[in-house]
Homo-oligomer: A and B are copies of this chain.
Amino acid sequence: MLVSASMKLVILTLLVCGIGFSQPEGCIPSSLNIPGAPYPCVYADRRVAFRVNAPDAQKVQVRLGGGHDLTRGSDGLWTGTIPPQVIGFHYYTISIDGAIVADPATRSFFGGGWWNSAIEVPETDGGYYTAKDVPHGEVRQRWYFSTVTGKWRRCYVYTPPNYDASAKSRYPVLYLLHGWGENEHGWHVQGHADLIMDNLIAAGKAKPMLVVMDNLNAARPHEDASLYNARSIIARRSLADVPPPIGARPAPGQAAPRPAFPANFGETFTAMLLTDLIPMVEKTYRTLPGRANRAMAGLSMGGMQSFQTVLGNIDKFAYLGGFSGSSGGRGGFDPKTAHKGVFADAAAFNKQMKLLFLGIGTAEGPGTKNFSEQLTKAGIQNVYFESEGTAHEWLTWRRCLNDFVPRLFR
């Protein structure tokens, strides 16, 4: 073998020493850390401790709901503990003498248009999104060509357990969209949509179905593909700051980050979905036909996209969900004119749309609840779901999905 005895001794020594001082007592490494990284770690009271190796830096901060200064120790490592955090998945970054970067101690996640860090503050009842001893479906990477955009695209398709073995079964389909600055990985990487589906199906709470997770970005050849680009260019240029991802909590007293939508937001994606994606899915997989077997939902900007697509095409979908994002019409909502009058005849709408689901975290403000109440007042049946104590973050969206999916295709 290539490993000499002396090398083994060095490694062993480092390991033993590492174990000796690596972790403050009672602080459990975040499940999102790279293998073996002791920091960031989470205390029982949900304070989070960080450590950054920046030997020659003058100032090091953790940026999570505002900036938190770390302190340089005599060993040259910067450490600090931030106040108790709410449960869930939180994007964060570190600042090293003004450079905003990912913390090398955690896995990197695509959010806000780039690859940043995250911690997971465990939920005591988080079993619904963890891998259990139940039958597991697959998440399949699928390449397909879009005639609308003129480009190859990639989506991920969740197929339920035993999809291959049940060669004669056909399934309904949920089209599930990420938020601004994320991509087709969001739902199964940050959101654990596959494990949520596995657990719901195993418990008999959800019908077996396909879940198609595509990328919300779509531009025709002559259109500006700036959905990410605006932010990316800004991020690379700005000397002042890089705004946090959409799924990050704002600093106290600050507004939540708001995406910059391109002029063509929504329309091209809807065209691509109807022209390319759905036909490809229904040709490639064993699907059930028609609107009664199609649902669409999304988070944040993906929720807005879902409302725009489905409410403009209710002949094609019977189930609709918006998680922390739905209709742009909250402020001056007029049921007679909103979304080209689709709500004007409430009885007709209710007969067509089998589910209109609105989900939100209680820390996100009253907008969605108000919208639900306005719909109800206009006679539009809808389900309003609240995630207790959570903000515009992935835990809200995992909980939304977990509540939404059992209501589909009944």
Whether A15 pairs with B328 at a CB distance below 8 angstroms is no
Whether B115 pairs with A143 at a CB distance below 8 angstroms is no
Set B54, B233, B258: member contacting A99, Cβ < 8 A: B54
Whether A2 pairs with B258 at a CB distance below 8 angstroms is yes
Q: Which residues of B contact A340 (CB under 8 A)?
A: none
Asked if A233 meets B96 with Cβ closer than 8 Å, knowing A36-B228, A53-B238, A104-B115, the reply is no
> Is A18 an interface residue when CB atoms closer than 8 A count as contact?
yes
**Residues A177-224 near B (CB distance < 8 A):** 188, 194, 217, 224
Whether B263 pairs with A8 at a CB distance below 8 angstroms is yes
Whether A104 pairs with B104 at a CB distance below 8 angstroms is no
> Is A277 an interface residue when CB atoms closer than 8 A count as contact?
no
> Is A126 an interface residue when CB atoms closer than 8 A count as contact?
no
Whether A233 pairs with B36 at a CB distance below 8 angstroms is yes
Whether A107 pairs with B115 at a CB distance below 8 angstroms is yes
Whether A54 pairs with B96 at a CB distance below 8 angstroms is yes
Distance in Å: Cβ of A34 to nearest Cβ of chain B: 5
Interface centre among A14, A258, A285, by most chain B C-beta atoms within 10 angstroms, is A14
Whether B99 pairs with A102 at a CB distance below 8 angstroms is no
Closest to A258 in B: B2
Whether B11 pairs with A230 at a CB distance below 8 angstroms is yes
Q: Which residues of B contact A2 (CB under 8 A)?
A: 258, 261, 304, 328
Stretch at the interface among A134-142, A346-354, A396-404: A134-142
Distance in Å: Cβ of A202 to nearest Cβ of chain B: 12
- A232 CA / B236 CA spacing, docked (Å): 29
Q: Which residues of B contact A39 (CB under 8 A)?
A: 236
Closest to A132 in B: B152
Whether A260 pairs with B99 at a CB distance below 8 angstroms is no
Interface centre among A115, A142, A145, A231, by most chain B C-beta atoms within 10 angstroms, is A115
Contact with B along A229-244 (1 / 0, CB 8 A): 1111111111100100
Distance in Å: Cβ of A90 to nearest Cβ of chain B: 17
Closest to A35 in B: B228
Whether B34 pairs with A113 at a CB distance below 8 angstroms is yes
Asked if A1 meets B261 with Cβ closer than 8 Å, knowing A35-B113, A131-B143, the reply is yes
Q: Which residues of B contact A114 (CB under 8 A)?
A: 34, 37, 104-105
**Residues A28-77 near B (CB distance < 8 A):** 34-39, 51-60, 75-77
Closest to A141 in B: B139
Asked if A75 meets B239 with Cβ closer than 8 Å, knowing A1-B265, A104-B114, the reply is yes
> Is A125 an interface residue when CB atoms closer than 8 A count as contact?
no
Q: Which residues of B contact A113 (CB under 8 A)?
A: 34-36
> Is A101 an interface residue when CB atoms closer than 8 A count as contact?
yes
Set B34, B99, B236: member contacting A96, Cβ < 8 A: B99
Distance in Å: Cβ of A162 to nearest Cβ of chain B: 10
Can you list 19 A-B pairs, Cβ within 8 angstroms, ordered by A?
A11-B230, A36-B226, A36-B229, A36-B230, A37-B232, A53-B98, A53-B99, A53-B239, A55-B97, A56-B59, A56-B98, A57-B99, A60-B99, A96-B96, A96-B99, A104-B115, A136-B142, A136-B144, A139-B141
Closest 6 CB pairs of A and B: A36-B229, A36-B232, A54-B99, A108-B108, A35-B228, A18-B233
Given contacts A58-B58, A104-B115, could you give 6 more A-B pairs where the C-beta distance is less than 8 Å? Answer: A35-B229, A53-B98, A53-B100, A75-B239, A97-B97, A131-B152
